[in-house]
Chains A and B, each alone.
Chain A
């Protein structure tokens, strides 16, 4: 029995999945002042509904990290960076960092050493800080400088927590890793307080199931690990919804999913059964980070979007002024148009017709006004779809073959979820000449998604055979290569072993794995090949635990 909880802006949704079936769904108001109250209320309702609290797992998708950032309940972070020569990134960071000497070059060689007395000076500079973040350029190629500085800071200042850049992301991008490390340290205390609250409250209720935190890339982390990497728990709402789609409507086709809610429509593109990821990572508070997240696009149209005229011109949203008139609201909405056009049966149809009467101008009948509203809503959604597809098509590629053959994604089908999908998705599909699907439990896709999200983890292995060593950034490893003629397939095998090691360390079941990046280049000196640079990135395949409760 898998319990999923998704804390949204209005409601905290809960869903229980057992043997691949949704057996309970609950909705409670979100308690913004203390999220835990709403979460526990949802848990209590579920327990009451199914008469059991023997969950195999509880997975949480919360806004706790987002709220900490919005409300400013974050810690002051002693951010130490080791940038070496190159671009000055200070202006692109959320806070002023302390700059330390030392440099790792792009091959992972230490070109200049860090200095202990500078680390000591940084500790004095950040005297009032109890949490630190340390990030160095090319630390994913060689973490030794970051680790040395962390050691010095620990000795000197003994802070409550230190986040290390190469541990939060194994990918290249010093700027993004630095921001990820900063935010991780900043929300660490707030998240840990929440985590302790969750653990204590469940213990009191006698619920002993392990708790997992949903990540923005659709994976989950055991709460204990999430306490070390709390920033991973940000932006999980849309990810929960996308996973829900994966669970209730699995597909291998090229799909566009539309999650049409009260005020927004979230778009995601899918290929081979999984949604596409955002290039580089998500943005937090306007700053780029290395946080892996689905590539989502959002447009301000939903069922509750306000319908009005501006100098005669029909306008929709993005604001909401209350529920639909059909549901007792005071202003015309998109939902009223859907009811008036007989697309859905909801609320009081007479009131919906009145709403459309207010929108009609000139000779327009009420039905024509409703059609005009729906047409405009479809326009806005289709425009967002076109923009997203154009953006996808203009993603840079670095190989001749990819330019020649193109990388454009041709959508074959639309899947619609969310409260307002039933009325609008058929119209969007018709406009685009595509088929569509409206999964039955689409209204609570988010909570289902949280319930069944599979735990994931990834490693990046980079071998430099000319230098005779390899690194796995996520594990802070720099080892000698095990054999002389190390090949790409050896790299895959070695990466698989380290992935298993990391999975075990994080208490994650190692299910199906997949290669997400694989490249091999010769290293040539003069005119002879002296070695290879091999990079491969392996992950536990994200997905859903729908058919059997593997991996728990």
Chain B
């Protein structure tokens, strides 16, 4: 559309929702951002159009998540609105009303994995993943690239798309050895059939705008150009900022705005960022201006002099990291071929997943069928324990969108067989082929 406005904004600060009173994810997180956006007059710019979020349906959520015992009891209305906000942003872009959209919504979601036992890393359901599957279901989008620019590894999003070769997940973040959730290393590359479509860039603490843009120019942008996605999603966390209280990076509002300008994501969804007074108002204004094609060069934090400089050691680490991942990307076809050959019919991984909010410890085994005809199916065995939580367990079969009839049958059979053996409390078939989650 010729007369489409540049940017659709879904602003939903959830002023009446918090995880708990003094939790970083609380009512006023976007208060100062709202003040800044309104005071700047951004919502009055002809190139920006504001949208109201709707509420996501449970079906939209269960297209992605398997809640144990069910998703309803694990989330609040705020989650439905936040997911609905991401979907409203997607609708605005897909209908051609705007060129890009930014869902400036909370609560966040990128730590929420496919199986949900509770809230981890402030997240219960994954807004971007729900939006991506909605885009596929409603608009027939296939190849998606998600670029996660939060300081924490987007482990939830990685988990959900780990076996999906049509979703490229790129995450840069502060090195997992120094920050929650402690994952996101270069060897996490996706399961054999999707090897290479998970790309982690663990940056050293102290990375500044220079280092970040090196990564962007020499790694992320070329990889995106190679992958040729139908759509680019930005998980727009803002906690790489030098003033963030939960991390140790040195990115500025200008660094974020230039990143946004280069990435040209179709849809951005807010993730973390807890320097609510010193960083968020400026980063969000910078992102909005960049997405709307307006001049952002004057968006500068008043305390910019407090931003630390990037050390030479950090610069060197970044350079070698870029080289390592460039070569991984260049050789991905060969590596994938070898991994598939090595795995045989099934690939399996066993993991411990920790829910920091509630002290839940989950043990999980995933088995993926490497089908020669389709993208295969997945079974998940999960058992979660916590002192107040007790114990919850489940067995689930996941049928992919384009599963062959044999895989569909095998997945269903596996769940029925598990149920007969009765080792778990709950049994699910997440049938993406028929777009429903069935509880046996």
Given A522-B26, A533-B28, is A399 in contact with B16 using a C-beta cutoff of 8 Å?
Answer: yes
Given A89-B41, A529-B21, is A396 in contact with B16 using a C-beta cutoff of 8 Å?
Answer: no
With both chains docked as a complex, state the minimum distance between the C-beta of A365 and any C-beta of chain B, in angstroms: 43
Contact among A106, A173, A524 for B44, CB-based, below 8 A: A173
Give the complex CA separation of A397 and B13 in angstroms. 9
A 243-257 contacts with B by CB, 8 A:
none
The reply to whether B35 and A172 contact each other, CB–CB distance below 8 Å, is: yes
Point out the residues of chain B lying under 8 angstroms from A105, CB to CB: 302
Give the complex CA separation of A137 and B36 in angstroms. 10
- B77 on the A face (CB < 8 A): yes
The reply to whether A175 and B15 contact each other, CB–CB distance below 8 Å, is: no
Given A92-B45, A112-B302, A522-B28, is A400 in contact with B38 using a C-beta cutoff of 8 Å?
Answer: no
Given A172-B38, A533-B31, is A398 in contact with B11 using a C-beta cutoff of 8 Å?
Answer: yes
The reply to whether B77 and A400 contact each other, CB–CB distance below 8 Å, is: yes
- B364 on the A face (CB < 8 A): no
Contact among A85, A173, A394, A404 for B298, CB-based, below 8 A: A85
Contact among A111, A400, A526 for B78, CB-based, below 8 A: A400
With both chains docked as a complex, state the minimum distance between the C-beta of A177 and any C-beta of chain B, in angstroms: 9
Given A400-B14, A400-B81, is A86 in contact with B302 using a C-beta cutoff of 8 Å?
Answer: no
Q: B4-16 CB contact bits vs A (8 Å, 1 = yes)?
A: 0000000111111
**Which of B46-54, B127-135, B381-389 faces chain A?**
B46-54
Give the complex CA separation of A395 and B11 in angstroms. 11
The reply to whether A174 and B40 contact each other, CB–CB distance below 8 Å, is: yes
The reply to whether A395 and B52 contact each other, CB–CB distance below 8 Å, is: yes
The reply to whether A87 and B40 contact each other, CB–CB distance below 8 Å, is: yes
The reply to whether A400 and B281 contact each other, CB–CB distance below 8 Å, is: no
- B289 on the A face (CB < 8 A): yes
Give the complex CA separation of A138 and B39 in angstroms. 7
Contact among A87, A401, A528 for B285, CB-based, below 8 A: A87
Point out the residues of chain A lying under 8 angstroms from B15, CB to CB: 398-399, 519, 521
Point out the residues of chain A lying under 8 angstroms from B57, CB to CB: none
- B301 on the A face (CB < 8 A): yes
- A280 on the B face (CB < 8 A): yes
- B341 on the A face (CB < 8 A): no
Given A86-B285, A519-B15, A522-B27, is A398 in contact with B34 using a C-beta cutoff of 8 Å?
Answer: yes
Given A106-B32, A533-B31, is A175 in contact with B44 using a C-beta cutoff of 8 Å?
Answer: yes
Q: B291-303 CB contact bits vs A (8 Å, 1 = yes)?
A: 0001100111111
The reply to whether A106 and B22 contact each other, CB–CB distance below 8 Å, is: no
Residue of A106, A176, A521, A529 with most partner-chain B CB within 10 A: A106
Give the complex CA separation of A455 and B347 in angstroms. 77
- A421 on the B face (CB < 8 A): no
Point out the residues of chain A lying under 8 angstroms from B414, CB to CB: none
Q: Which residue on chain A has the smallest CB distance to residue B304? A: A85
Point out the residues of chain B lying under 8 angstroms from A137, CB to CB: 39-40
Q: Which residue on chain B has the smallest CB distance to residue A171? A: B38
Given A86-B298, A103-B302, is A529 in contact with B40 using a C-beta cutoff of 8 Å?
Answer: no
Given A173-B44, A175-B44, is A88 in contact with B302 using a C-beta cutoff of 8 Å?
Answer: no
Q: Which residue on chain B has the smallest CB distance to residue A407? A: B52
- B42 on the A face (CB < 8 A): yes
Point out the residues of chain B lying under 8 angstroms from A89, CB to CB: 40-41
Point out the residues of chain A lying under 8 angstroms from B36, CB to CB: 86, 106
- B282 on the A face (CB < 8 A): yes
Q: Which residue on chain A has the smallest CB distance to residue B27? A: A521
Q: B52-70 CB contact bits vs A (8 Å, 1 = yes)?
A: 1111000000000000000
Contact among A172, A174, A394, A529 for B52, CB-based, below 8 A: A394
Contact among A84, A85, A87, A404 for B41, CB-based, below 8 A: A87
Contact among A85, A174, A400, A524 for B299, CB-based, below 8 A: A85
Contact among B21, B54, B302 for A85, CB-based, below 8 A: B302
Q: Which residue on chain B has the smallest CB distance to residue A103? A: B302
- B366 on the A face (CB < 8 A): no
Point out the residues of chain B lying under 8 angstroms from A401, CB to CB: 16
The reply to whether A175 and B295 contact each other, CB–CB distance below 8 Å, is: no
Given A85-B302, A112-B302, A398-B11, is A176 in contact with B44 using a C-beta cutoff of 8 Å?
Answer: yes
- B277 on the A face (CB < 8 A): yes
Point out the residues of chain A lying under 8 angstroms from B50, CB to CB: 396
Q: Which residue on chain A has the smallest CB distance to residue B28? A: A521
* Chain A count of residues within 8 A CB distance of the other chain: 43
Give the complex CA separation of A527 and B52 in angstroms. 32
Q: Which residue on chain A has the smallest CB distance to residue B31? A: A521
The reply to whether B12 and A106 contact each other, CB–CB distance below 8 Å, is: no
The reply to whether A173 and B39 contact each other, CB–CB distance below 8 Å, is: yes
Point out the residues of chain B lying under 8 angstroms from A280, CB to CB: 43-44
Q: Which residue on chain A has the smallest CB distance to residue B16? A: A399
The reply to whether B41 and A106 contact each other, CB–CB distance below 8 Å, is: no
With both chains docked as a complex, state the minimum distance between the C-beta of B98 and any C-beta of chain A, in angstroms: 14
With both chains docked as a complex, state the minimum distance between the C-beta of A181 and any C-beta of chain B, in angstroms: 13
- B424 on the A face (CB < 8 A): no
- B354 on the A face (CB < 8 A): no
Give the complex CA separation of A19 and B32 in angstroms. 50
Point out the residues of chain B lying under 8 angstroms from A87, CB to CB: 40-42, 45, 285, 289, 294-295, 298-299
- A107 on the B face (CB < 8 A): yes
With both chains docked as a complex, state the minimum distance between the C-beta of A463 and any C-beta of chain B, in angstroms: 14
- A70 on the B face (CB < 8 A): no
Give the complex CA separation of A527 and B84 in angstroms. 30
Give the complex CA separation of A533 and B298 in angstroms. 27
Give the complex CA separation of A479 and B50 in angstroms. 36
The reply to whether A524 and B26 contact each other, CB–CB distance below 8 Å, is: yes
Point out the residues of chain A lying under 8 angstroms from B54, CB to CB: 403
The reply to whether B22 and A528 contact each other, CB–CB distance below 8 Å, is: yes
Q: A212-246 CB contact bits vs B (8 Å, 1 = yes)?
A: 00000000000000000000000000000000000
Q: A99-111 CB contact bits vs B (8 Å, 1 = yes)?
A: 0000101110001
- B17 on the A face (CB < 8 A): yes
Give the complex CA separation of A528 and B295 in angstroms. 38
Point out the residues of chain B lying under 8 angstroms from A172, CB to CB: 35, 38-39
Give the complex CA separation of A17 and B36 in angstroms. 46
Give the complex CA separation of A288 and B54 in angstroms. 28
Give the complex CA separation of A286 and B28 in angstroms. 34
A 173-198 contacts with B by CB, 8 A:
173-176
Give the complex CA separation of A138 and B78 in angstroms. 30
Q: A74-98 CB contact bits vs B (8 Å, 1 = yes)?
A: 0000000001111111001000000
Q: Which residue on chain A has the smallest CB distance to residue B13? A: A398
Give the complex CA separation of A88 and B40 in angstroms. 9
Given A398-B34, A401-B16, A521-B28, is A88 in contact with B298 using a C-beta cutoff of 8 Å?
Answer: yes
- A50 on the B face (CB < 8 A): no
The reply to whether B295 and A88 contact each other, CB–CB distance below 8 Å, is: yes
With both chains docked as a complex, state the minimum distance between the C-beta of B284 and any C-beta of chain A, in angstroms: 11
Point out the residues of chain A lying under 8 angstroms from B52, CB to CB: 394-397, 403
- A523 on the B face (CB < 8 A): yes
Give the complex CA separation of A528 and B245 in angstroms. 14
Q: Which residue on chain B has the smallest CB distance to residue A140? A: B39
Give the complex CA separation of A399 and B299 in angstroms. 28
B 144-171 contacts with A by CB, 8 A:
none
The reply to whether B40 and A523 contact each other, CB–CB distance below 8 Å, is: no
Q: Which residue on chain A has the smallest CB distance to residue B295? A: A88
With both chains docked as a complex, state the minimum distance between the C-beta of B7 and any C-beta of chain A, in angstroms: 13
Residue of B15, B50, B78, B301 with most partner-chain A CB within 10 A: B15
With both chains docked as a complex, state the minimum distance between the C-beta of A452 and any C-beta of chain B, in angstroms: 33
Q: B interface vs A, CB < 8 Å?
A: 11-17, 21-22, 26-28, 31-32, 34-36, 38-45, 50-55, 76-78, 81, 84, 245, 277, 281-282, 285, 289, 294-295, 298-303
Given contacts A89-B40, A106-B32, list 13 more A-B pairs with CB under 8 A: A87-B41, A87-B42, A173-B41, A398-B14, A398-B34, A399-B14, A399-B16, A400-B14, A400-B76, A403-B77, A404-B55, A522-B27, A528-B22
Q: Return 10 A-B CB contacts under 8 Å, by A number.
A: A85-B300, A86-B285, A394-B52, A397-B52, A398-B12, A400-B78, A403-B53, A404-B81, A521-B15, A524-B22
- What 9 A-B pairs are tightest by C-beta distance, nearest first? A175-B41, A111-B302, A521-B28, A85-B300, A399-B16, A172-B39, A288-B44, A87-B40, A172-B38
